[in-house]
Amino acid sequence: MKRTVLLAVGLLALASPAFAQTPAAGPHDAALAAAPANLREGAMVIKWKADGSYDTLRPGTNRLMCYDQSGDAGEQPISSQCTSVGNLDRVKQNKIYEAKIADRTAREAALTELEKAGTRVKPEFGSVFYTRQGKDATTTRLHVTIAVPNATAASLGIPDNNKMGGAWIMGAGTTAAHIMTPGS
């Protein structure tokens, strides 16, 4: 009898998540898919336009802004990104160039020219970019980077490649410098 009760309790414990209520799907779920759970409720939700302007779909109460990118050229069917409101101008510049120059190589060259000219907008130092992308719900992955504009491996004391297996800096010495986080 004791074993039967323990087995029943164990099965209930394993099955309880299936009985838990899931929140109703909201109008901004696609944009908020990349948001950390503890910031999701207070995140601002925006919709970018090709000219770099945006509509605010939901005002925020914290510094996180999120947007759905799934309809944008070159993006996965599921694609959302969240970052600090301090990065609005950086993302705006990216969106303008994405709309203007479809070819990725040509677009990167144009952004490199902005970098050389000193007109590339810097992201907020230490801000996080959360990006969730995938072909469908079963293949999405969260990618997390931390913006460290103009930082180098020497200035941060971390490697400039992933060979050590830990965090590393990519784009060192440029406004695009960011810390890559392993496992994301």
Whether 96 maps to a domain, the answer reads yes
Residue 105 belongs to a domain: yes
Residue 37 is assigned to a structural domain of this protein: yes
CA 175 to each of CA 88, 100, 124, 128, 163: distance values in angstroms, whole numbers, following the listed order? 15, 21, 10, 14, 23
- 50-97 pLDDT, tens digit per residue, is 889 999 999 999 999 999 999 888 889 999 999 999 999 999 999 999
Asked, for residue 5, whether it belongs to a domain, the answer is no
Does residue 13 lie in a domain region? no
Cβ atoms of 36 and 81 within 8 Å: the answer is: no
Query: What does pLDDT average to over the chain?
Result: 87
> Is residue 129 in some structural domain?
no
More confident: 4 or 42: 42
In a domain, 167, yes or no: no
In a domain, 159, yes or no: no
**pLDDT attached to residue 23:** 41
- Count how many domains the chain has: 1
Domain extent at residue 115: 25-124
- Give the per-residue pLDDT at 25: 60
If pLDDT is split at 50, 70 and 90, which confidence band does 182 have? confident
Structure tokens that stand for 119 in this block = 């007109």
pTM recorded for the entire structure: 0.83
pLDDT for residue 21 is more than 80: no
Q: Which two tokens stand for residue 153?
A: 């491996």
Residue 20: pLDDT above 60? no
